[in-house]
Structure 1
Amino acid sequence: MIINNVKLVLENEVVEGSLAVKNGVISAFADTNSQLPEAINGEGGWLMPGFIELHTDNLDKFFTPRPKVDWPAYSAMSSHDALMVASGITTVLDAIAVGDVRDGGHRLDNLQKMIGAVRNSEQAGLNRAEHRLHLRCELPHESTLPLFEEFMNIPELGLVSLMDHSPGQRQFSTPEKYREYYQGKYRLNDDEMEAFQESQIANSLRWAKPNRMAIAEHCNRLGIALASHDDATAAHVAESKALGSVIAEFPTTEEAAYASHQQGLQVLMGAPNIIRGGSHSGNVAAQHLASLGLLDILSSDYYPASLIDAVFRIALDESNAFGLSQAVALVTRNPATALSLQDRGVIAEGKRADLVLARAHQGHHYVHNVWRQGKQVF
């Protein structure tokens, strides 16, 4: 296969030319166009490596499309997978919550079903994107550690994050934001919210620290990449580094992002934060971190199509030093490096032919075609 007449987004530059694929890998690329009539005409679009998504809870939405609605597992998985590739994502770590911030939450009910659907569909070759698992361990919960130990040896597990969403911790450092978020999410009245808040604080004091230590120890022993989550202070970051974290997910302050860089952790922020111009929780803006050179990885988080939009917004923003190659690296090379996925993430000979062809219309950038290992999947 030859893809012709494209702007190749390479590691350090963008060049106009063509790219050839053989047996699922990139066999050659050049700054000239092929003369072969069977070459695919990219019509001047941008050809980039396939996007690598490290933290998306999008699968949740398909398993429970409405409150109290449980959707069949393989139908949910198929719909989720289709949306991933349509967004340019060829490698996805499906983030599944272990433990929950509320007893009886649907995530606990769906835990086995979601993990089974990801594993079985991947093993059967049903997916268009390559799916792996990211276990989001909600630390202030008595069930978190035994549930994690049940799944920690499965081969599809690629990333574990440690989080504490109790009031006064990290993401919700102010009580007002905590109440605003969870009262809206769970439709709690004031008395119910007060009881919920008190139980979460008690659970955090009882379970967060021992669960954090035990899960980190398991990950280090098994060689599973570990991520911190919502670190707010340099002390949080120092703790995360000591536990063996390699990724800092969604640091909530400039102080924490800077400390993460100093400690060698890759800073991951949400692409929706870029699109919206700030954090829905009132935390530090991803664009601000980009302007300081403190942004390494973008995740679509809850909105898959945000990746491509955020990449071009960062590349076109004059307040930072990102060109298009550096912006694309936020969703390709850098997440691949964080997980030691050495076979993908860049356009280079011998690398997997996971590719995204993007085009623009009236200032909007969109995914036009996607290939995974040389096979067109969108």
Structure 2
Amino acid sequence: MAIQIEGARAILPGGVERVSVRVEGGRVTGLDTPADGARVIDARGLVLAPALVDVHGDAFERQVMPRPNVFFPTEAAVLETDRHLAVNGIATAYHALTLSWEPGLRSVGRGAEFIDALAALAPRLTVENRVQLRWETFAFEALDLIERALAGPLLPSVAFNDHTSMSMRAFDVPIQQRRFEQSPDYTIAALDDDRLRQRTAGNAKRAGLTTDEYIAHLGQIWERRREVDATIRRVAGAGRGRAAPMLSHDDTQVETRAYYRDLGARIAEFPMTVEVAQAAREGGDAIIFGAPNVMRGGSHIGSPSAGEMVERGLCDILASDYFYPAMLAAVARMLADGRGSLHDLWKTVSSNPAAASGLTDRGEIAPGKRADLLLLDWPEGHLPAVRLTLSGGRVAYGTEGVTP
């Protein structure tokens, strides 16, 4: 049955206007057209917006492992995460699924379970759940799973992630100043230095290992370093072959961004310096920062302020990162801080991430586009609250009075 949403202030490609929006067959079929038998939703006093497109979110890990090494069934975690997405207005989500050499939460085996659960549960999920293959570049054991996922029905993205080199960097090198990871001059920490125990204690806990066990394993993995460049090139070739969106994660050097750009990774995810963000802009790359960074007023690890990067034109996309509600809250904060208009700021969570991901059918309210829509209760000076989430025209979440 057709739906007609009337009376809302709608965020359209050209600006914010009060128009009626007709939805039928999972698509937006008209603006300011007659109701013509459609079920009418009275949206006076509300804001109608394109639903959110989240290109990097790992909050699902708290559903998989709510306490250290306490694992819940993957099916339960996926179903619960899907509901979290809908309630927070996210109709398309790329789950940042870390595929690491670590055992435990981020192991390749756990990743395979998650991918299989998404495929099996797809008919029951309320929004579109995709995967970002957040590949730790030393995890050679993940290659078969990456190639299998790239052949799946919902094309994943591929993110090149090197936290192994980050952990191994010399102690006098801040995270944001570490050199290009493939550099022959990359200086490293000594495995028997007590400071490495402190640096890796959290990782060891997540992996279910003692710190000594983790460091011993890290030392064995580091011996793969000479093969990493060739393996990165293999994965990048597989991604290009499927036209998958590809990202590099936590770049600290202009050289790093250029390396991944040359391999076809045209998205800079969480660049750790302004210089790298500027190089990405000059190279025509899309730039992602975390919405929690905006919401909190700055980065928790000393990286650039995402709000400032948006205002300076050095951030195209805001991702939920580790907190799904942050995307809506970030737009509200930037609007309150005068960093842009509602129309322009909303692009960072809808049309820009959709375009960067190659999803040309969504991210805007326009005839022919997917009916991924939000109705928001948004009093001036307050955070917006989702009243209705439509995903492909279907109700993913709705409150009394607005549900068709």
The question of whether the paired residues in 2 share the 8 Å contact of 1:141 and 1:204 is answered with: no
The question of whether the paired residues in 2 share the 8 Å contact of 1:300 and 1:306 is answered with: yes
Cα distance in 2 for residues equivalent to 1:59 and 1:377: 18
Cα distance in 2 for residues equivalent to 1:42 and 1:313: 24
Is residue 279 of structure 1 aligned with residue 299 of structure 2? yes
Cα distance, 1:144 vs. partner?
3.4
Tell me which amino acid in the other structure corresponds to 2:67.
Answer: R
Secondary structure, aligned partner of 1:330: helix
Cα distance, 1:135 vs. partner?
0.6
TM-score by length of 2: 0.83
> Could you tell me the percent identity over the aligned residues?
29
Cα distance, 1:185 vs. partner?
4.8
With 273-282 and 298-307 compared, the bigger mean Cα shift is at 273-282
Structure 1 pair 317–177 and aligned structure 2 pair: CA distance change class (3 A): farther
2:238: which partner in 1? Answer: 218
Unaligned runs of 5+ in 2: 179-188, 398-404
1:149 to 147, 150, 168: 147
1:250: which partner in 2? Answer: 270
Tell me which amino acid in the other structure corresponds to 2:5.
Answer: I
Instruction: State the Cα deviation string for residues 294-325 of structure 1 (Å, max 9, x = none).
Output: 1101110111111111112223322x3x2111
1:228: which partner in 2? Answer: 248
Secondary structure, aligned partner of 1:136: strand
Tell me which amino acid in the other structure corresponds to 1:340.
Answer: G
Tell me which amino acid in the other structure corresponds to 1:369.
Answer: L
Instruction: State the Cα deviation string for residues 172-207 of structure 1 (Å, max 9, x = none).
Output: 646899977643454599974993696288257344
1:50: which partner in 2? Answer: 51
Instruction: State the Cα deviation string for residues 260-282 of structure 1 (Å, max 9, x = none).
Output: 11111100111011111222222
Structure 1 pair 185–195 and aligned structure 2 pair: CA distance change class (3 A): closer
Cα distance, 1:128 vs. partner?
0.3
Unaligned runs of 5+ in 1: none
Alignment length (residue pairs) = 372
The question of whether the paired residues in 2 share the 8 Å contact of 1:360 and 1:366 is answered with: yes
Structure 1 pair 116–274 and aligned structure 2 pair: CA distance change class (3 A): same
Cα distance, 1:114 vs. partner?
0.3
RMSD: 3.0
Cα distance, 1:34 vs. partner?
7.0
1:108: which partner in 2? Answer: 108
Cα distance in 2 for residues equivalent to 1:336 and 1:37: 28
2:348: which partner in 1? Answer: 330
Correspondences of 1:75-224 after superposition (within 5 Å): 75-100=76-101, 102-122=102-122, 125-165=123-163, 166-167=165-166, 168=169, 173=177, 182-187=200-205, 192=212, 195=215, 199=219, 202-203=222-223, 205-224=225-244
The question of whether the paired residues in 1 share the 8 Å contact of 2:108 and 2:142 is answered with: no
Structure 1 pair 141–342 and aligned structure 2 pair: CA distance change class (3 A): closer
Cα distance in 2 for residues equivalent to 1:207 and 1:232: 21
Tell me which amino acid in the other structure corresponds to 2:395.
Answer: Q
Tell me which amino acid in the other structure corresponds to 2:115.
Answer: I
The question of whether the paired residues in 1 share the 8 Å contact of 2:277 and 2:287 is answered with: yes
Is residue 59 of structure 1 aligned with residue 60 of structure 2? yes
The question of whether the paired residues in 2 share the 8 Å contact of 1:315 and 1:327 is answered with: yes
Correspondences of 1:349-360 after superposition (within 5 Å): 349-360=367-378
